Chains A and B, each alone.
Chain A
Amino acid sequence: MSFREPHELHKRRFSLNLGLGLVLAFLVAVVFGLTVAKVSIGGFEPRPNAAGAPIAAPAKPAEGG
């Protein structure tokens, strides 16, 4: 197995592609951090039903189903 010689276009666009890749990686990190923060703040617990009791978590599907 051999890698092809990089096309001239790849060399020319390297800084652009690298920059875009870093921005996307940064965005992933921000979304991950935001998710962790949101969960730690709370507010994602199941809503209580009319009687005030928390709604039970959905039952697990049967094994092998």
Chain B
Amino acid sequence: MSDASLNHPATQTDARFGDYFALLKPRVMSLVVFTALAGLVAAPVAVHPMVGFAAILFIAVGAGASGALNMWWDADIDRLMRRTARRPVPAGKVSADEALSVGLTLSVMAVVMLWLAAGVVPAALLAFTIFFYAVVYSMWLKRSTPQNIVIGGAAGAFPPMIGWAVATGGISVEAVLMFALIFAWTPPHFWALALFMNDDYQNAGVPMLTVTHGRRVTRNHILAYTIILAPVALALLLTPIAGPAYLVVSVVMNALFLNGAVAIWRRDEAVAASDNYKVERSFFRLSLGYLFLHFGAIMIDAGLRGWGVWP
């Protein structure tokens, strides 16, 4: 923050507390909290509630910090996209330098505090997640390859693995499968968004699959990745953390998701444009419910085991 910014006269662009909070991408943070909590409660090791609360808090802060670093780096293209133009940096409420400061400070704080609260393994995983999102995805992949969200999706897939590591101090097959679930879910989720927000990415020069290969190829990819996603999701049923709730959710939601992907695959551009991408928007909303219900079911099954209802 410069002296000039301290002393400038009152204007409508003065940053409020909420503007700094918005730097942390609260909606993404809520998903991180939810999936990390699922990893934590699904683990077969009890965690002191205060330690668990602090760990989830610092995982969320770390995720928020990587969001701030992303906003610092992507301020130029965020300005060009309708979906992101109102973010604090492109809107002129917070300077890019401030976003960088907030991101770096909170990154260090979150990793150190998670280390003190839960140990070196979850802290190292959180540090790697921040690095992967800010550097590998934002700085490198996002502007260089249409596979950006396929590889970059790993950053969003780590939280349940970190939650698991908080409880157990390590990584196991269950944690890897929860990671794989989010990793395989990410491409169809973002490509559905890209189908009806393609102009944004085109204007900003972001090489999303819709921009580089067109919507037809993207529709094919959505179907292919949704087919891959189904066995990945069902594979968790082979582990002790999945019970009856997960069985029901996984079977129903994968059937619905496959049905939606087939519907997207069968549509052509003329039909999609005529109804303003109704099916694609519906598939995008379904994808949010898909992830929420899968991890919700994991927590319900952990509760059933805790109450002795399920072995």
Contacts and interface: CB of A to CB of B under 8 A. Distances in A.
A19 B17 contact: yes
A25 interface: no
Interface residues of B, number: 20
Interface in B106-130: 113, 116-117
Given A30-B57, A33-B54, A34-B54, A12 B10 contact: yes
Contact of A36 (B14, B50, B57): B50
B57 A8 contact: no
B10 A33 contact: no
Contacts of A13: 14
Contact of B16 (A15, A36, A40, A41): A15
A28 interface: no
For the side of the interface on A, what is the size category? 10 to 19
A33 B7 CA distance: 39
Contact of A8 (B10, B20, B49): B10
A30 B54 CA distance: 7
Contacts of A38: 51
A16 B10 contact: no
A9 interface: yes
B69 to A, nearest CB: 19
Given A19-B17, A41-B48, 20 more contacts: A9-B6, A9-B7, A13-B14, A15-B16, A15-B17, A16-B16, A16-B17, A19-B18, A19-B21, A20-B17, A30-B54, A33-B50, A33-B53, A33-B54, A34-B51, A34-B116, A34-B117, A37-B51, A40-B48, A41-B51
